[in-house]
């Protein structure tokens, strides 16, 4: 696996783990930390989108033979 694939995998696993933790907090308290969830989702999903665009750009260059 290349470094970008590892980064995407780690971010995805962390995102799923954070989701599970928020669900656990919600189950115990009856409310969620909305600002924390919004910030986390925005940052992780932004990174995943950026890494995916980089990866797709590299694959397009390889396909074109550049």
- pLDDT, one tens digit per residue, over 5-22 is 888 888 889 889 999 999
pLDDT confidence of residue 61 = 85
Mean pLDDT over each residue of the chain, to the nearest integer: 87
Confirm whether pTM is higher than 0.85.
Answer: no
Secondary structure element (H or E) that encloses residue 38, with its range: helix 34-64
Q: Where are the domains of the chain?
A: 3-64
Tracing tokens 């995407």 back to the chain, one arrives at 8
Query: Taking 70 as the threshold, does the pLDDT of residue 66 lie above it?
Result: no
Cβ neighbors of 8 (< 8 A, separation 6 or more) are: 48, 51, 52, 55
């Amino acid at each position: 696996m290349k470094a970008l694939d590892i980064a995407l995998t780690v971010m995805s696993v962390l995102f799923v783990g954070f989701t599970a933790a928020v669900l656990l907090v919600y189950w115990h308290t009856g409310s969620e930390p909305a600002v924390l969830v919004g910030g986390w989702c925005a940052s992780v999903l932004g990174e995943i989108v950026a890494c995916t665009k980089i990866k797709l750009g590299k694959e397009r260059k390889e396909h074109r033979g550049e």
